[in-house]
């Protein structure tokens, strides 16, 4: 067995021994439960509360037990809370081992630093993505059981005076039945976006930690990418879409398949995302060649 595969097996055992994978899986599964807890509570609120005007219509449409609503909430929670948890719990995985001199013996034995860094990235990113996929599959099962393949849209006079009145003269919620095939297709499209977004941010966190050897930088940069960076891109138009649709930001800022661009924009953003991921990994590997790496202590 090659030296690199031995290192990968060691890191897999470490992820299992420290219960890191279990932590990621439990947080991801909590997002599924949180989704249905919110929808369940809001079903009670919408059915018993007295709303006035269009507020009640929009509440009925937003919290109806439909595939799109359930997936929208799940994606929002995954790309917010789970993503932040991933950043926090992976911020110092590499720098901490360096600080504790766990790389001293391997480096003295002639193992190249790039093998240690690449193995960490491969194993921990895989653990994060597998946990997310397990949560997505559970969400799929629960959604098929409890939800309907429909889109609920509140129709009010503010939106379209010609359509706002039902036969009895009241505003209403229009229901579009999209069928299970389309509903599940929309779910998998969103799941694909989620996986790419998680891949980008988890790689970003680990590589920045490897490059800077500082945990706080590995937290700050990904969170700035998630929260701040997409804003200016959203206001710059390129053709029919904003610049956001050609960058990695689209994958973790989009929760509804109807908000995404076309296939060309999706392919462009995918290639750009992959290119940035490769560049970050190469940068992290090259940073492992700095003098004194095995003794450098991280600043947390």
Concatenated DSSP letters of 89-114:
HHTTHHHHHHHTTTTHHHHHTT--HH
**pTM (two decimals):** 0.86
Tell me, yes or no, whether 298 lies in a domain. Answer: no
Can you give the pLDDT at residue 249? 79
Mean pLDDT computed over every residue of the chain: 83
Mean pLDDT of 33-60: 78
Cβ neighbours of residue 57 closer than 8 Å, sequence gap 6 or more: 51, 154, 155, 156, 171, 172, 173
Write out the two tokens for 281.
């990994």
Quick one: DSSP state of residue 148? B
Tell me, yes or no, whether 73 lies in a domain. Answer: yes
Tell me, yes or no, whether 300 lies in a domain. Answer: no
Can you give the pLDDT at residue 292? 44
Alpha-carbon distance values, 174 to 66, 155, 171, 183 (Å)? 13, 6, 10, 17
Mean pLDDT of 175-182: 84
Tell me, yes or no, whether 161 lies in a domain. Answer: yes
Can you give the pLDDT at residue 281? 95
SS3 172: strand
Can you give the pLDDT at residue 239? 75
pLDDT level of residue 295 (50, 70, 90 thresholds) = very low
Buried b (16+ CB within 10 A) or exposed e, 2-37: eebeebbeebbebbeeeebbeebbebbbbbbeebbe
Strand partners, 153: 174
Can you give the pLDDT at residue 99? 86
Give the model confidence (pLDDT) of 239-289 as tens digits: 777 888 888 877 766 544 344 566 777 888 889 999 999 999 999 988 865
Tell me, yes or no, whether 294 lies in a domain. Answer: no
Question: How far is CA 244 from its chain centroid?
Answer: 16
Write out the two tokens for 71.
């997936």
What beta strand segments (E) does the chain contain?
150-155, 172-177, 237-238, 241-242
- Cβ(255)–Cβ(190) below 8 Å: yes
Query: CA gyration radius for the chain?
Result: 23
Give the model confidence (pLDDT) of 71-88 as tens digits: 999 999 999 899 999 999
Distance CA 70, CA 139 (A): 8
Give the up-direction half-sphere exposure of residue 110: CA atoms within 13 A in the CB hemisphere: 1
Residue 52 has pLDDT above 60, yes or no: no
Cβ neighbours of residue 22 closer than 8 Å, sequence gap 6 or more: none
Quick one: DSSP state of residue 295? G
Q: Is the dihedral of CA 258, 262, 263, 268 positive or negative?
A: negative
Residue 167 has pLDDT above 90, yes or no: no
Percent of the chain topping pLDDT 70: 81
Can you give the pLDDT at residue 203? 96
Neighbours of 100 (CB within 10 A): 11
pLDDT level of residue 47 (50, 70, 90 thresholds) = confident
Tell me, yes or no, whether 97 lies in a domain. Answer: yes
Can you give the pLDDT at residue 172? 59
Cβ neighbours of residue 121 closer than 8 Å, sequence gap 6 or more: 203, 206, 207, 210, 281, 284
Closest-CA residue to 253 (of 177, 191, 197, 188): 197
Q: Which domain holds residue 46?
A: 3-288
Can you give the pLDDT at residue 37? 93
Mean pLDDT of 144-164: 68
Closest-CA residue to 15 (of 105, 95, 100, 90): 90
Distance CA 221, CA 229 (A): 10
Interstrand relation of 241-242 and 237-238 (parallel, antiparallel or unpaired) = antiparallel
* Placement of tokens 């097996």 in the chain: 9
Mean pLDDT of 178-197: 90
pLDDT level of residue 27 (50, 70, 90 thresholds) = very high
Domains contained in the chain, number: 1
């Amino acid at each position: 067995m090659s030296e690199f595969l031995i290192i990968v097996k060691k890191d897999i055992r470490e992820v299992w021994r420290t219960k890191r994978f279990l932590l990621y899986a439990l947080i991801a599964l909590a997002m599924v439960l949180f989704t249905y807890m919110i929808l369940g509570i809001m079903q009670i609120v919408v059915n018993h509360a007295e709303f006035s005007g269009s507020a009640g219509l929009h509440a009925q449409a937003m919290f109806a037990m439909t595939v799109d609503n359930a997936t929208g909430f799940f994606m929002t929670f995954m790309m917010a809370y789970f993503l932040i948890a991933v950043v926090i719990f992976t911020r110092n995985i590499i720098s901490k081992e360096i600080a504790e001199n766990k790389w001293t013996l391997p480096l003295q034995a002639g193992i190249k630093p790039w093998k240690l860094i690449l193995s960490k990235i491969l194993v921990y990113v895989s653990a994060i993505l597998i946990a997310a996929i397990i949560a997505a599959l559970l969400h799929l099962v629960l959604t098929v059981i409890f939800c309907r393949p429909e889109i609920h849209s509140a129709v009010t006079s503010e939106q379209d005076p010609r359509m706002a009145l039902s036969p009895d003269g009241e505003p209403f919620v229009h229901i579009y039945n999209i069928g299970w095939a389309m509903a599940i297709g929309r779910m998998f499209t969103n799941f694909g976006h989620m996986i790419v977004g998680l891949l980008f941010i988890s790689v970003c966190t680990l590589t920045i930690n490897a490059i800077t050897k500082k945990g706080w930088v590995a937290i700050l940069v990904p969170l700035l990418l998630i929260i701040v960076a997409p804003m200016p891109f959203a206001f710059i138009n390129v053709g029919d879409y904003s610049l956001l649709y050609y960058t990695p930001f689209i994958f973790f800022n989009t929760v509804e398949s109807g908000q995404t661009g076309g296939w060309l924009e999706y392919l462009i953003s995918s290639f750009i995302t992959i290119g940035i991921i490769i560049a970050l990994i190469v940068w992290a590997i090259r940073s492992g060649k700095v003098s004194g790496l095995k003794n450098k202590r991280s600043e947390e």
